A and B are shown apart, each in its own frame.
Chain A
Amino acid sequence: MRSKYIVVGSSHAALEAATAIRLVDPDGGLTLLSRDQRLPYSPTILPYVVSGRSQPDDVTLRGAAYFRDNKIAFVPGASVAAVDPAQASLRLASGETWHYERLLIATGAAPVLPPVAGLEDVPFHVLRSMDDAVKLRAAIGAAKSAIVLGAGLIGMHAAENMRKSKIAVTVIEMEAHALQAYFEPEASTIIERVFAANGIRMLMRQTLRSVAETGDGCIATLADGTTIAADLLLVCAGVKPNIGFLDGSGIETGSGILVDDLMRTNAPNVWAAGDVAQARGFWGGKVVNGILPNAVEQGRIAGLGMAGDPGVTAFAGAVPLNTYGFFGQQAVSVGRAGEGAGAGLEIEQSVGDRAYRRIVFEDGHLIGIATINDFVDAGIMAQLIRRRTDLSAVKSQFIADPKQTGRQLMSQLWR
């Protein structure tokens, strides 16, 4: 099989790249190879499928009509087993070989399984694919209690949504606080309190030592000897980029696939984008920035580059950008909002029962902002950070009202 452009993956980075390719090259053969059997969907939607708020067939990001109208071949059930850049080809698990002129790897990430004794012997759930979500939703119907291992975004979303299905939920987290990657402790404390008030048992700074199967579920034993029995176990202990199939390909990897600022790998005519890519961090280094807006941005750059658009602009560096809704409340975290005190840093923080705001400046420039129940336009905040806008002149105004001040700056700087 042969296609001018081959995109491996079918989520945000892959879809954005396909859109970008079609902007420049309306006719060149374009194939999307998806491991999944379904039409494209977002991993972000899965907790809502678990709760029943979203229906599996109603969250499709692109339908058959889109692929037909844009002359894109969408191939479901195509899992890539190996890539051979020297031959400009790749091999599917089925044995089928595909030849490309330009290849994008947007294979995303897969759940990490922590080293817990007995884990491989008990039935447990993960949440990365639609099949996972459908399976978990079915299991919830019969379950009365659940353990969620890991208090990252997926774990917290899943815990909330299972609780809404009237299940007794226990969250076990190794770190001191939930969502530690996105919020500093006082913000996490507010969120944890909301979870506790909604009947979720939050066990922070607890290590799961072992799990064992019981007749109708499992029993978990913590490092301190506490035991918890539950009907189902959901493991959300983080994800790692899907790069195993690149072994022996010569494509350089670190924690993800290493790419330059145009999302090119070290191999000719091979690009990578999204959760699988390790690209420039805004503040230096190369990072895997596994968030949806980042996947879209990188997918766009890769797609334009693959189609040879001379107007493609280099990736300016990954900025963390998270929005998080929980129990009808909202949290936003942009940039290095969790940064502790440091040289040249100025931190403004106000903490209430429900509301929270933390603004981090470095030499008069915004580098991070996090809020809870205090909406700020995350897109504008990200622009202020990326443009390295000097806020010295409006700092007190910004601290007092970041939302309005941000909008005013928007209207002056990039309206």
Chain B
Amino acid sequence: MTACAQEKARTDDLAHSRIRILQNGAGVELALCRQCADPICVMNCPSGALTKNADTGVIDWAAKKCVDCLLCTAGCAYAGIVYEAAVGHVSKCDLCDGEPACVSACPREALELRTAARIFNAYADKEDLFCRGLAACHGCNSELLIRHTMRMVGPDAVVAAPPGCIPGMGTVGYNGQTGAKVPIFHSLLTNTATMLAGVKTQYDRVGRDVTAIALAGDGGSADAGFQSLSGAAERNDPILFICVDNEGYMNTGMQSSGVTPYGSWTSTTPVGGAMQGKRTEAKNLPLIMTMHNCSYVATASTAFLEDYYVKLAKAIAVAKTGMAYLHVYAPCPTGWRFPSAMTTQVCRMQVRTNFIALWEYEPGHGLRFTHPVERPEPVVNYLKLIGKYKHLSAEQAAHIQNTVDDKIAYLRQLSAMAAARRGVAAQ
């Protein structure tokens, strides 16, 4: 608040702060302009002083036009635009032209400027390359993911979709009425990467520049699909392989896969007298992919779409000449048992607890965190959101916390090594 008052009025008087922190029980809450997409304050303004800026998304306030009628405060249910006697007029957060003083002043990463909404401005007009009416489960983020992905990839593409949720929701079909609007084929679980690389070779031969992209599940990547994926990666075949990881075979009855985490309930790792969910650890497929010859490897989460877009753009460029591998996490409301409205919150908590880490890897540059979480929340805050962990004992939860800590420590070592090497290379 002090940083804001200083930035906006060169004073320590907190009345001038446009971000207002309030105690709420043990925690704190914010009263802050939400920069609503459909702002009532703007519609309530009789003088035209408030306008929604289509480019920045900020609701701008023009002092010259304002007549101090306060009707904007009557429209806002969030105390985002308020009157303070010391200020003498209404005031609201303007995001400091994209570099908020409060965010840089916050020492504990509690404040962050999220710009995912700008993706809408950049991509909303691009054609959605899937037809309407895909039959994904309620709350599934895979549909969101593939629609976003193909918007950026564009129509010059060929898609491979091995057995899994993505074909299961009806994406395979190419008549403009159902499924995809680009060529798409249903590869086998075992041969996706090699078949796609072969198709890409044929396109190259006839002189067509297309992006060859696989939309595979974790079974088609980590288990039965692994042999062909590994081979394509070893050859650095020019394809973009996206693994949509829902930690098991969620469309065939929720069986366990090689990337199902320890402790998870699945139909093949049940909870009963002898077994309390999966006994073994998940293998770390994205990290395994860095040990191949891919030109680009990254992890991503749909709760951090701006991060995903940066990585996807790199992957599309890389896939012209070599292999790009993206590992995107897809928490499954149906198979993991959590409310369908919670998917994005679950995705976010995966990252906030370091249960998954967001990073990218390029040969020669090594591994780099793209959204480092220095002060992670305890992993139980993530586990308790999800039904498939409901049975966990305190020991099992502690075990998962240890695994998470070990994994992140290992990644940090890789990241530090890479940074050191970049430092050497820079000299």
Q: Is the CB of A325 within 8 A of B69?
A: yes
Q: Is the CB of B29 within 8 A of A54?
A: no
Q: Is the CB of B65 within 8 A of A377?
A: no
Q: Is B85 an interface residue (CB 8 A)?
A: yes
Tell me the chain A residues, 38-58 only, with Cβ under 8 Å from chain B: 42-45, 48, 53-54, 58
Q: Is B73 an interface residue (CB 8 A)?
A: yes
Give a binary string over B30-49; 1 marks a CB under 8 Å from any A CB, 0 the rest.
Answer: 11000000001001101110
Q: Is A214 an interface residue (CB 8 A)?
A: no
Q: Is the CB of B79 within 8 A of A380?
A: yes
How many residue pairs bridge A and B at CB < 8 Å?
116
Knowing A332-B70, A377-B76, A408-B22, the reply to whether A54 touches B44 (Cβ < 8 A) is no
Give a binary string over A373-415; 1 marks a CB under 8 Å from any B CB, 0 the rest.
Answer: 1010111101100000000000000000000101110111011
Q: Is the CB of B77 within 8 A of A379?
A: yes
Whole-angstrom distance between the Cβ of B289 and the nearest chain A Cβ = 40
Chain A interface mostly? helix
Whole-angstrom distance between the Cβ of A110 and the nearest chain B Cβ = 18
User: Which of B29, B70, B73 lies in contact with A415, CB distance below 8 A?
Assistant: B29
User: Which of A45, A296, A334 lies in contact with B75, CB distance below 8 A?
Assistant: A296
Whole-angstrom distance between the Cβ of B190 and the nearest chain A Cβ = 45
Cα(A10)–Cα(B300), bound, Å:
48
* Residues of chain A within 8 A of B83, CB atoms compared: 330, 375
Q: Which residue of A lies closest to B41 (CB)?
A: A379
Q: Is A293 an interface residue (CB 8 A)?
A: yes
* Residues of chain B within 8 A of A373, CB atoms compared: 85
Knowing A375-B83, A375-B85, A408-B29, the reply to whether A58 touches B77 (Cβ < 8 A) is no
User: Which of B47, B73, B75 lies in contact with A59, CB distance below 8 A?
Assistant: B47
Q: Is B410 an interface residue (CB 8 A)?
A: no
* Residues of chain A within 8 A of B73, CB atoms compared: 323, 332, 375, 377-379
* Residues of chain B within 8 A of A293, CB atoms compared: 40, 44, 71, 74-75
Q: Is A16 an interface residue (CB 8 A)?
A: yes
Whole-angstrom distance between the Cβ of A63 and the nearest chain B Cβ = 9
Whole-angstrom distance between the Cβ of A222 and the nearest chain B Cβ = 32
Q: Is the CB of A375 within 8 A of B69?
A: no
Q: Is the CB of A48 within 8 A of B67?
A: yes
Whole-angstrom distance between the Cβ of A197 and the nearest chain B Cβ = 18
Q: Is B12 an interface residue (CB 8 A)?
A: no
Tell me the chain B residues, 76-119 only, with Cβ under 8 Å from chain A: 76-79, 82-85, 88
- Point out which of B29, B65, B71, B76 has the most chain A C-beta atoms below 10 A from its C-beta: B71
Q: Which residue of A lies closest to B82 (CB)?
A: A377
Q: Is A321 an interface residue (CB 8 A)?
A: yes
Cα(A296)–Cα(B74), bound, Å:
12
Give a binary string over B1-37; 1 marks a CB under 8 Å from any A CB, 0 the rest.
Answer: 0000000000000000000101110000111000000
Size class of the contact patch on chain B = 20 to 34
* Residues of chain B within 8 A of A379, CB atoms compared: 40, 73-79
Give a binary string over A250-289; 1 marks a CB under 8 Å from any B CB, 0 the rest.
Answer: 0000000000000000000000000000000000000000
Q: Is the CB of A411 within 8 A of B48?
A: no
Tell me the chain B residues, 377-414 only, with Cβ under 8 Å from chain A: none
Q: Is B68 an interface residue (CB 8 A)?
A: yes
Q: Is the CB of B71 within 8 A of A377?
A: no
* Residues of chain B within 8 A of A119, CB atoms compared: none
Size class of the contact patch on chain A = 35 or more
Q: Is the CB of A407 within 8 A of B77?
A: no
Q: Is the CB of B79 within 8 A of A292?
A: no
Knowing A377-B79, A411-B31, the reply to whether A42 touches B74 (Cβ < 8 A) is no
Q: Is A198 an interface residue (CB 8 A)?
A: no
Q: Which residue of B lies closest to A322 (CB)?
A: B74
* Residues of chain B within 8 A of A404, CB atoms compared: 22
Whole-angstrom distance between the Cβ of A274 and the nearest chain B Cβ = 12
Cα(A404)–Cα(B79), bound, Å:
10
Q: Which residue of A lies closest to B76 (CB)?
A: A379
Knowing A59-B48, A293-B44, the reply to whether A382 touches B74 (Cβ < 8 A) is yes
Cα(A376)–Cα(B214), bound, Å:
55
Q: Is the CB of B31 within 8 A of A325?
A: no
* Residues of chain B within 8 A of A16, CB atoms compared: 43
User: Which of A19, A292, A382 lies in contact with B46, CB distance below 8 A?
Assistant: A292
Cα(A412)–Cα(B28), bound, Å:
11
Q: Which residue of B lies closest to A382 (CB)?
A: B74
Q: Which residue of B lies closest to A20 (CB)?
A: B38
Q: Which residue of B lies closest to A15 (CB)?
A: B43
* Residues of chain B within 8 A of A139, CB atoms compared: none
* Residues of chain B within 8 A of A15, CB atoms compared: 43
* Residues of chain B within 8 A of A292, CB atoms compared: 44, 46, 71
Cα(A53)–Cα(B89), bound, Å:
15
Knowing A53-B67, A296-B75, the reply to whether A410 touches B31 (Cβ < 8 A) is yes
Q: What are 21 A-B contacts defined by CB distance under 8 Å? A: A44-B46, A45-B67, A59-B47, A60-B48, A293-B40, A296-B40, A296-B43, A296-B75, A323-B73, A325-B69, A330-B70, A334-B74, A375-B83, A377-B76, A378-B73, A379-B79, A404-B22, A407-B31, A407-B79, A408-B29, A411-B30
B interface residues (Cβ-Cβ under 8 A, vs A):
20, 22-24, 29-31, 40, 43-44, 46-48, 65, 67-71, 73-79, 82-85, 88
A interface residues (Cβ-Cβ under 8 A, vs B):
12, 15-16, 19, 42-45, 48, 53-54, 58-61, 292-293, 296, 321-325, 328, 330, 332, 334, 373, 375, 377-380, 382-383, 404, 406-408, 410-412, 414-415
The 7 A-B pairs with the shortest beta carbon distances in the complex, nearest first, are: A42-B46, A411-B29, A323-B70, A44-B46, A378-B74, A379-B76, A377-B79
